[in-house]
Amino acid sequence: MATHQLQRGYIVVLEERCKGCELCVPACPEDILLMGRRTNHSGWNLVETQNMEKCIACNLCALICPDRAIDVYRFDKPLKVEIEETASV
Ligand code: SF4
Ligand code: SF4
């Protein structure tokens, strides 16, 4: 069965600006950001995203980033997204 959630926005990480400082990771109230293993051309570890459908476009990640490496986009109207439910054991 599918569940529905309202997505309010999404972010784009400008990878060549990211220096892997990790400040944005705990700043996100929805746990969307995490450090990955990929690196940019300067050799910094890149922040990555997960579960983007949970983004509430609060802008906290962009505000805390010292390198202005995150752009936040807010939808005019929240989108309804379908999410696959996983069975609990
Ligand atoms: S805008 Fe807010 S909810 Fe979306 S990724 Fe950034 S901190 Fe998380
Ligand atoms: S705060 Fe900015 S520079 Fe630091 S890891 Fe996040 S996106 Fe990269």
Query: What is the CATH classification number for the domain harbouring 30?
Result: 3.30.70.20
pLDDT given for residue 5 in this prediction: 78
Cα gap 7→63, rounded to integer Å: 20
Nearest CA to 7 among 72, 67, 81? 81
Average pLDDT over residues 30-45: 96
User: Within a domain: residue 89?
Assistant: no
Candidate from 6, 12, 14, 28 with most ligand 1 atoms within 8 A of CB, to mutate: 28
How many separate domains does the chain show?
A: 1
Q: Is the CB of 56 under 6 A from ligand 1?
A: yes
Domain extent for 22: 2-83
pLDDT given for residue 87 in this prediction: 64
List the beta bridge partners of residue 47: 35
User: Within a domain: residue 38?
Assistant: yes
Q: What is the dihedral of CA 25, 61, 27, 47, to 10 degrees?
A: 0
pLDDT over 90 at 2, yes or no: no
User: Within a domain: residue 88?
Assistant: no
**Residue 61 belongs to what H/E stretch?**
helix 60-64
